[in-house]
Structure 1
Amino acid sequence: MDIKQVRDITVIDFDDKRYLGISCDSCGGIGTKEHDVVKASLHLVAYQTGKVALAELLSLGFSPFLLADGLAVEMDDTGNQLIAGFRDVISRLKTAKVHLTGSTEENIPTVQTSMGITCIGICEKDKLKYKKTRAGHVCMLLGLPLVGNDVVNNPDKILDIEDFEILYLSNLIKEMLPVGSRGTEAELKDLCKYNNLGFAYNENLSVDLTHSGGPSCCCLAVLEEEKIDEVKKLVKKPSEVLGHFVDKQ
């Protein structure tokens, strides 16, 4: 069995026509417990954490079918509230039915919210959105890189799971790459590296390229220049064209 790492996804050669994809994410210190650093509703914490792992799969072309949560909290009542958040985020997907499973900590009292999640999806091999970028394509940042309390306070400025599904379904998008804790610039460098390309940034960009993207609050999208206006209409969130890809010198 051939297993390889593609960006943040473990890709398994399932059969002649399909890949399995596995994504993971973790979250700690955000919630309603005594020692949580950022206070936020448990529903929101689980929703955004689940969104990250689902978005990673969708961005590479995978249709998710399972979400497994490992909750380092008690079921009653922290776990129940987190599970409600997971159920909410998977219910928003219109093209995938995702099964939810998991476990909680019932032996040791906990004073901080903590969890790890794993998602599994499947993708037709010819639909994998990887190494599809060419010189001349442009790169847009959709959504804004936000983290912590800024995520809680600016829901209209971040990508939601429905946005990722819309982009996943669109044939306008050559490649997608959610921005994580390393920031936009680091993710874009990776995109250039595995496509063996350089990048010419536009002048006077408004976004901080080094700021953490938090729970996949924004996403890099690769497209043809003439499709910019069409892509802006797909996602009603802040967007900015960062520049265009060039042949590596």
Structure 2
Amino acid sequence: MRRDVTIIPLNEEELLIISSDNAGGIGEKAEDLVKTDYETLARMTLRVAIMECLSTGAEPISIILHNFSGEKAWDLFVRGCEKLLAELHYENIEISGSSETNFDLLQSNIGITVVGKVQKRKLKIGKTPPDSKIAVIGKPLVGVEVLREESMIAPLTLFLKLIGYAGVYECVPVGSKGILFETNLLFPNRKIEEHHSDISLVKSSGPSTCFIVTYKSIFENEIREIAGNLFFSID
């Protein structure tokens, strides 16, 4: 199935995984549509890119930051990225990048690229059988909802735990195209409709506030217990 990553063979055993995300009109400038501090903006933007990378089974090795919000925003963006990396115990990953300092844009903008590596045999793409169980962890949130309903955002530590959990086939981050779009990519021959869950399957999930997990049915109770009130089944 398709994923939002670029896969480049390094050698006979390893693959390079490149993922990215960006955000515009969100930040501390007067013309921004959603107001939030730059640390939070960087953390949530990196969240999406690193989830895409991790979902393939890769280990991140480099973060590249693209700053279009002014020179003063750089340190705040880096600090936000460092906080997220510390949460995942990736403190040693170097952050590099560049700032647009020739022109002062009216709205805040940021882009982040994550580079990772994975052994070919450990690549977690196309591992889901057609009869596997499906659930969503977390609630799809976008814009100010991300700030107001933070408790319903799937923690990255939970995402990382389920990626390597026994009985789990794949964990797929959900972005602006919604849950249904991603499930239809996972299951092209399985008819999944909007009414098959207690949450909206077509709503944007903003900075990947939720993710899809596919798993063996015998592990459902364990996964439900781990995810708690963030678990939403898809029938």
Normalized against structure 1, the TM-score is what? Answer: 0.88
Once the two structures are superposed, residues 194-249 of structure 1 have per-residue CA deviations (whole angstroms, 9 ceiling, x without a partner) of: xxx31456966211111001101000100011111212233345111102xxxxxx
Kept in 2, the 8 Å contact 1:42–1:81? The answer is: yes
Q: Does 2:28 correspond to 1:32? A: yes
Secondary structure, counterpart of 1:120 in structure 2:
strand
Please report how far the alpha carbon of residue 6 of structure 1 lies from its aligned counterpart in structure 2 after TM superposition.
Answer: 4.3
Please point out which of 186, 190, 208 is paired with 1:198. 190
Equivalent residue letter for 1:15: N
Please point out which of 81, 88, 91 is paired with 1:93. 88
Relative distance call for 1:200 and 1:105 in structure 2 (3 A) is closer
Once the two structures are superposed, residues 82-134 of structure 1 have per-residue CA deviations (whole angstroms, 9 ceiling, x without a partner) of: 22111111111136842211111222122211011110001111111111111
Q: Does 2:127 correspond to 1:132? A: yes
Please point out which of 50, 57, 61 is paired with 2:57. 61
Normalized against structure 2, the TM-score is what? Answer: 0.93
Relative distance call for 1:97 and 1:126 in structure 2 (3 A) is farther
Relative distance call for 1:44 and 1:205 in structure 2 (3 A) is same
Q: Which one is further off, 123-132 or 91-100?
A: 91-100
Once the two structures are superposed, residues 155-212 of structure 1 have per-residue CA deviations (whole angstroms, 9 ceiling, x without a partner) of: 110113222221222233101211110011111111113xxx3145696621111100
2: distance between equivalents of 1:185 and 1:153?
A: 24
2: distance between equivalents of 1:225 and 1:146?
A: 27
1: distance between equivalents of 2:64 and 2:217?
A: 39
Q: Could you tell me which residue of structure 1 aligns to residue 179 of structure 2?
A: 184
Equivalent residue letter for 1:148: G
Please point out which of 206, 210, 220 is paired with 1:228. 220
2: distance between equivalents of 1:42 and 1:95?
A: 21
Relative distance call for 1:49 and 1:17 in structure 2 (3 A) is same
Once the two structures are aligned, what percentage of the paired residues are identical?
28
Give the gaps of 5 or more residues in structure 1. 244-249
Q: Could you tell me which residue of structure 1 aligns to residue 47 of structure 2?
A: 51
Secondary structure, counterpart of 2:190 in structure 1:
strand
2: distance between equivalents of 1:104 and 1:202?
A: 42
Q: Could you tell me which residue of structure 2 aligns to residue 42 of structure 1?
A: 38
Q: Could you tell me which residue of structure 2 aligns to residue 103 of structure 1?
A: 98
2: distance between equivalents of 1:96 and 1:61?
A: 19
Give the gaps of 5 or more residues in structure 2. none
Equivalent residue letter for 2:13: K
2: distance between equivalents of 1:26 and 1:203?
A: 31
Q: Which one is further off, 127-136 or 160-169?
A: 160-169
Kept in 2, the 8 Å contact 1:172–1:227? The answer is: yes
2: distance between equivalents of 1:175 and 1:41?
A: 33
Kept in 2, the 8 Å contact 1:67–1:118? The answer is: yes
Q: Does 2:230 correspond to 1:238? A: yes
Q: Which one is further off, 22-31 or 122-131?
A: 122-131
Q: Which one is further off, 157-166 or 199-208?
A: 199-208
Please report how far the alpha carbon of residue 79 of structure 1 lies from its aligned counterpart in structure 2 after TM superposition.
Answer: 2.1
Kept in 1, the 8 Å contact 2:180–2:194? The answer is: no
